[in-house]
Amino acid sequence: MTTENLKAQEQSPEQQPATILSYVKDLPNLCSLAGLACTIVAIYYSILGVYSAAMIGMIWAVAFDWADGLIARRMKGRTGDDSAFGGQLDVLIDIVSYGVGPAILLLCIGKFDILYLPGAFLIVAGSAIRLSYFSTFGLVGGKKYTGLALDNNNIILVFIFLFAGFFSEDTFAIILYASCLGLTALNVSQLKTPKLSGKPLNVFILAAYTLGLTAIYGWMLL
């Protein structure tokens, strides 16, 4: 085969991947991006100190994260490339939603005191390590995670924030710091935890939890 034929074969349209933006129209990927948008909102309001709005963004990020997997499993006609791209997109967004978002929240609560910087680093580093491990080894026996799944971080933190008004700002900052470090330790532990997002009952519970917290934090904003 000549060099010209080899080059023509390499450039054959059938062998080229789809365009980058073509994957955006995939519904599960749209849900993932909606979750990312919620995290950006949470980060924005964390910086502004409007924590009730930040909590709404954080819990909705989890809701969209669960929705993308649920939709992907029910959709027909998705190609292997669609699934692979969606999986990579989901992992990258998880680092932002469950690592960067909570880290910025902690820094904001700590009034950007340098003592909170190590905690912020550990949250993001723990998320990256946890997701890298999962991407490499997957579920144990196809059913359980090794370490606490990162979406639980947001679910727990938005609940803890309900009690912020019972403590002084400095005391609650310490409570949040300890909570974040505790969750990070569980994320990278050898603890085996069940996969919750794939079961319809758990999805219903999360939906109720999300709507309930949205109503509570929305009322706090008024």
Beta carbons within 8 Å of 134's beta carbon, 6+ residues apart: 145, 146
Q: What is the pLDDT of residues 105-154, one digit of tens each?
A: 999 999 999 999 999 999 999 999 999 999 999 888 878 899 999 999 99
193: CATH: 1.20.120
Number of domains forming the structure of the chain:
1
Residue 10 lies in a domain: no
Which tokens go with 108?
Answer: 């904001």
Q: Which two tokens stand for residue 23?
A: 């994957």
Query: pLDDT tens for residues 24-76?
Result: 788 888 999 999 999 999 999 999 999 999 999 999 999 999 988 777 777 77
Q: Is residue 78 part of a domain?
A: yes
Evaluate whether residue 15 is within a structural domain.
no
106 in any annotated domain: yes
Does 7 map to a domain?
A: no
- The verdict on residue 20 lying in a domain is no
Q: Return the SS3 of 170.
A: helix
The pTM is what? Answer: 0.88
Kindly state whether residue 163 falls inside one of the protein's structural domains.
yes
Q: Which domain covers residue 56, as residue numbers? A: 26-221
Phi, psi of 18, deg, nearest 5: -65, 165
> Would you say residue 43 lies in a domain?
yes
Give the Cβ contact number of residue 80 at 10 Å: 7
The whole-number pLDDT of residue 15 equals 61
